[in-house]
Amino acid sequence: MQPSTRMTTPAVPSPASRTQRFIVVASQVMLIALIWICADIVSRRFLPQVPSSLLGLGVVLALLWTGVIRRDWLAHGAGWLISEMLLFFIPAVIAIIQYPDMIRRNGLAIFVVIVGSTVCVMASTALAVDATWRIQAWHARRRERMAAEKQA
């Protein structure tokens, strides 16, 4: 068989689909923001020792796990937030520019903390991914055994 030599052009989204995509992304970002705002209120009033971001993440995880919300209700909005994450670092860069004396005095300590926390995040992410993979593999083997026992 000969591979096709015909060139295909990527489909250009119609204005209606772009508008629909914008509405979907905006509504998902609003849902994520609403969950964070609720978590912030609960954190400030009842659980001041728990950061609202962790509480909100836990709530989202619990809602996804229980099926109250589906992954596709948040996927595009979360993807947009992640793709625009650089905007969230602008205040940190401005702070560095505004306080050069502090950077000169504490620059090495700040650098060590940044590198150390990055290593900790990477290590904990690797451990979490490995644990999740092992759990999924265990569940798959268990399902296969149960299916084999059912057939026998």
**Secondary structure of 26-65 in the HEC alphabet?**
HHHHHHHHHHHHHHHHHHHHCCCCCCHHHHHHHHHHHHHH
Q: Tokens 């005095």 belong to which residue?
A: 105
Q: What is the pLDDT of residue 7?
A: 47
| pTM, 2 dp | 0.53
Q: Largest alpha-carbon pair distance within the chain?
A: 75
Predicted confidence at residue 138, as pLDDT, reads 95
The reported pLDDT for the residue numbered 15 is 65
Digit-by-digit pLDDT tens for the chain (152 residues) are 455 555 454 555 666 788 899 999 999 999 999 999 999 999 999 998 988 889 999 999 999 999 998 888 899 999 998 888 877 777 777 877 888 888 889 989 989 999 999 999 999 999 999 999 999 999 999 999 999 988 87
**CA-wise closest residue to 22 among 59, 74, 70, 77:** 77
Q: Cα dist. 73→25, 27, 145 in Å?
A: 9, 9, 34
pLDDT for the residue 141: 95
- Give residue 12's pLDDT: 53
pLDDT at 11: 56
Q: Which residues contact 110 (CB under 8 A, 6 or more apart)?
A: 103
